[in-house]
Amino acid sequence: MRTLLATELPDIWERGERQHPLDRAITLLATACPEKERDELVHLSIGQRDALLFALREMTFGREMQAYTECPACGAQLEFKLNIEELLRGYRTLDGNGKITRLNSYNIRFRLPDSADIAACINSGSIDTDKELLKRCVLKITHNKKIVAFDDIPEATLSTLIARMAEADSLSDIQIALSCIECNHKWTMTLDILSFLWEELGNQVMQILYQVHVLSRAYGWFEADILAMSSWRRQYYMNMVT
Ligand SMILES: [Zn+2]
């Protein structure tokens, strides 16, 4: 993995803004992880993908994340810090062979959903995308040593299976427990590293483009030449003209 360069960030941003978040994550990682094939990235589970996004975030902006939210009860603005090392502690996932879980006397082997599975479910037009996703990821079901069809599993068992899948891929659903300092209301917030990192990168792109605007007006330099400078040097020239 490597950091994203100022010369490529505006293009990545422009492309990613028009994409579905599933594709946006792959756009980011395809540039940051040239050692991985695109197909390999698409078939990472969501937790595995997000582990890479956390690593990219740490490499780009550091380990500490400054987060903001609003209390759903009183509307107070809440500011808090998250640490990537702590979030990734105890990280669990599965390899491609999946896992067998026993639920209500059914033995179910499943693999973890990946970006391609989720995209296929969205595009299928199914009204029950959770069930569609499970159907794709359940590899084998036996009951009293006999093979059972997916459609014959009770609905309640399927609901538990969704929870088991999320537990098996611990970064796929990160819940942060919060407490309001104003009214003491307690709630949990989902942490989506993709949207968090995308917003930070967006701010960085806006800052870089502003520098291009100022420096090209002041010196007549071309965008490509300004982007190719180190951030230190861009800032140095910025200090002289502003
Ligand atoms: Zn509150």
Give the model's pLDDT for residue 96.
79
* Domain locations along the chain: 9-90+174-241, 99-168
CA of 179 to the centre of ligand 1 (A): 8
Tell me if 32 sits within 8 A of 4, measured CB to CB. Answer: yes
**Sign of the Cα pseudo-torsion (104, 132, 128, 22, in order):** positive
Give the model's pLDDT for residue 126.
84
Q: How far apart are the first and last CA of the chain?
A: 35
Distance between CA 58 and CA 20 in Å, rounded? 23
Tell me if 204 sits within 8 A of 9, measured CB to CB. Answer: yes
The residue whose two tokens read 């300092």 is: 181
Determine the 3-state secondary structure of 60 from DSSP: helix
Give the model's pLDDT for residue 17.
97
CA of 96 to the centre of ligand 1 (A): 43
User: Which H/E stretch holds residue 175?
Assistant: strand 174-179
Give the model's pLDDT for residue 69.
95
Give the model's pLDDT for residue 34.
96
Give the model's pLDDT for residue 127.
85
Distance between CA 45 and CA 165 in Å, rounded? 11
CA of 77 to the centre of ligand 1 (A): 8
CA of 187 to the centre of ligand 1 (A): 10
Determine the 3-state secondary structure of 70 from DSSP: strand
CA of 189 to the centre of ligand 1 (A): 14
CA of 188 to the centre of ligand 1 (A): 13
Query: What is the residue-level pLDDT of the chain in tens, covering all 242 positions?
Result: 999 999 999 999 999 999 999 999 999 999 999 999 999 999 999 999 999 999 999 999 999 999 999 999 999 999 999 999 999 998 999 987 889 999 989 999 999 999 999 999 999 888 888 899 999 999 999 999 999 999 999 999 999 999 999 999 999 999 999 999 999 999 999 999 999 999 999 999 999 999 999 999 999 999 999 999 999 999 999 999 98
Tell me if 44 sits within 8 A of 52, measured CB to CB. Answer: yes
